[in-house]
Amino acid sequence: MMTENLYSLLLPSDPRDDARPALQTGTGAAWSYGDLRRTAGRIARLLHESGVGRGDRVAAQVEKSPEALCLYLATLQIGAVYLPLNTAYTLTELRYFLGDAEPAVFVGPPQSAAEVAALDPAPAGCLFTLDGDGGGSLTAACRDLDPWDGAADMAADDVAAILYTSGTTGRPKGAMITHGNLGYTTRTLAGLWGIADTDVLLHALPVFHAHGLFIAANPVLFARGSMLFLSRFSADRVIELLPRATLFMGVPTLYTRLLADPRLTPDLCRGMRLFTCGSAPLSAETFARFEECSGHRILERYGMTETAIITTNPLDGERVPGTVGFPLPGLEVRVADEGGRPLPPGGEIGGLELRGPNVFKGYWRMPEKTAAEFRPDGFFITGDLARRAADGRISIVSRAKDLIISGGYNVYPREVESVLGRIEGVRDAAVIGVPHPDFGEGVVAVIERQPDAPPPDPAVVIAQAARELAGYKLPKIVVVQEALPRNAMGKVQKNELRAQHKDVFTLPAPAAPRG
């Protein structure tokens, strides 16, 4: 019986691939598929000799590097569970994740090794270090080892990775992602996006997140393509390398930064085949400006930690700004009312729910929370509000927790943000609801101003928005600032904004127009 181990899909033992280019780093170091297989195999041998077995967790808080990618592959190879952790996490945050996951091995940066080792209780059975250049005790310890051969025999339902969600509404939850989940996503995206061995992905995303690891790297490895593997995003480096690439996967923030560079032209992008965007909503303005500057229409798609990817605009066909396209083949997706009853297509807003091979196994050690997130018929409740058009296209309206109820009326932040984003001087906008003595919740718009331009006047912003929005949807207060708080994937952290502005209607504030 053939194993379902994802490693066998990404790095099968085929000598014909050994010399094929796999990736090139920002410093010019070239790695073949044979190099990846041998390095991953040596790390797999080290993990095994360190006592790591099937189902044991391997936690990694490491900078992006080819060796970090090999650590992920090695963990899959021996049947352990990969636990990537954001490199920005503090020691306090790290203590929670390690205490909850109880990894057999922790791999972290050399500069914090002593602090991590001193944590009580101990963070893991074994500690190794790995830096952004591939140095550290991990690679030193495995340098002379014989590579592990083959891959552990895994079932589709076996857990391959645990990714922690942001925890904005409670303590972070570890989503258990299976080999079957990732195998489906890998094969499906490679097919839908036409990824082939001739493709070169300009990889500028972090690899501690589902986007950079599961959506970007996995399908390219599966297709035997290659990657220009940047340690981090730099608009200057991306502009420099675009002529050598055919694929680029980004988040809206990366596209707005590229648009600020006058060197972004159709001629620069003539060799590109596809630009995709996810992890946060892409504004219609950014979509249109990018097409004008590059000659390419961004393919927007939608997913989440628990599912990797759910919908995508088509590779061949109309890519409609403001929508995230169609469900992936094999998925059952519905827009439902609060009781889980499907709503008819045509525009009615409801909760997005799905069932299919990409849906995670559950939350690590949280059976009650897992049960609460699923309907009795097995549909996963995403927590996103959406509408489905008659042709099947999905549009995400907002997160359910971001919905604002002001004076008894529903206000969907994405709709207001879309209008604000078209106003001169506005680079981006986040719309939140905060306690209001009269309306229950009041609408507040926090605006990120365009750099090198006069800050927009809040009164003018409200007046212009009033041309397109009903009064109850209008912001009662507009705050203009240099930048919005974002996570590593560029997603605006609305929980921070809500905490920052929670008293704006109860403390003395400048008079503002009422909706």
Residue 363 lies in a domain: no
**Are residue 91 and residue 67 in the same domain, yes or no?**
yes
SS3 456: coil
Residues 387 and 441 placed together within one structural domain of the fold: no
Q: Strand, coil or helix: what is 74?
A: helix
Highest mean pLDDT among 105-119, 218-232, 407-421, 430-444: 218-232
Q: Do residue 308 and residue 238 come from a single domain?
A: yes
- In this structure, are 280 and 392 located in the same domain? yes
The residue from 178, 194, 221 where one domain ends is 178
Q: Which amino acid is at 423?
A: I
Question: Would you state the pLDDT for residue 280?
Answer: 80
> Residue 479 pairs with which residues in a beta bridge?
446
CATH of the domain at 425: 3.30.300.30
Has residue 40 got a pLDDT over 70? yes
Mean pLDDT is lowest, of 127-136, 285-294, 403-412, for 403-412
Whether 59 and 169 share a structural domain: yes
The total number of structural domains that make up the chain: 3
Q: Let me know whether 342 and 415 are in one domain.
A: no
Look at residue 195 and tell me if it is in a domain: no
Do 424 and 334 belong to one domain?
A: no
**Distances in whole angstroms, Cα of residue 249 to Cα of each of 4, 215, 332, 486:** 27, 9, 26, 18
As a whole number of angstroms, the distance between CA 250 and CA 269 comes to: 15
Q: Are residues 63 and 116 in the same domain?
A: yes
Asked if residue 199 belongs to a domain, the reply is no
Domain final position from 111, 143, 178: 178
Range of the domain at 485: 403-500
Q: Kindly list the distances between the CA atom of residue 445 and the CA atoms of 76, 288, 425, 458, in Å, as whole numbers in the listed order.
A: 44, 23, 14, 9
What CATH number should be reported for the domain holding residue 25? 3.40.50.12780
Q: Distance from CA of residue 477 to its chain's centroid?
A: 30
Interior angle at CA 9, CA 6 and CA 12, nearest 5: 120
Residue type present at position 118: A
pLDDT score, position 15: 86
Q: What's the order of all strands across the beta sheet hosting 477-481?
A: 426-436, 440-449, 477-481
215, part of any domain: no
Same-domain check for residues 276 and 422: no
From CA 233, how far away is CA 203, in angstroms rounded? 9
Query: Residue 286: pLDDT above 80?
Result: yes
Which residues are registered as beta bridge partners of 247? 201, 274
Judge whether 467 lies within some domain: yes
Contact criterion met (CB below 8 Å) for 261 and 235: yes
Asked if residue 208 belongs to a domain, the reply is no
Q: Which of 267-276, 311-320, 490-499 has the lowest mean pLDDT?
A: 490-499
Residue 318 backbone phi and psi in degrees, to 5: -75, 130
The closest alpha carbon to 277, from 261, 291, 292, belongs to 291
**Which residues, 6 or more positions from 488, have their beta carbon under 8 angstroms from its beta carbon?**
86, 87, 88, 206, 208, 209
DSSP-assigned beta bridge partners for residue 351: 336, 385
| Percent of the chain clearing pLDDT 70 (strictly above) | 97
- Which one is predicted more confidently, 469 or 141? 141
396-428 pLDDT per residue, tens = 988 888 889 888 788 889 889 989 999 999 999
- Domain membership flag for residue 409: yes
386 with 424, same domain?
no
- Flag whether 183 is in a domain: no
* Average pLDDT over all residues of the chain: 93
Query: Both 395 and 409 in a single domain?
Result: no
pLDDT at residue 367 greater than cutoff 90: yes
User: Looking at 152, 178, 204, which one is the last position of a domain?
Assistant: 178
Q: In this structure, are 166 and 81 located in the same domain?
A: yes
Q: What mean pLDDT is predicted for residues 209-216?
A: 96
| pLDDT value of residue 170 | 62
Higher-pLDDT residue of 237, 495: 237
Distances (CA, A) of 507 to 345, 438, 501: 44, 14, 10
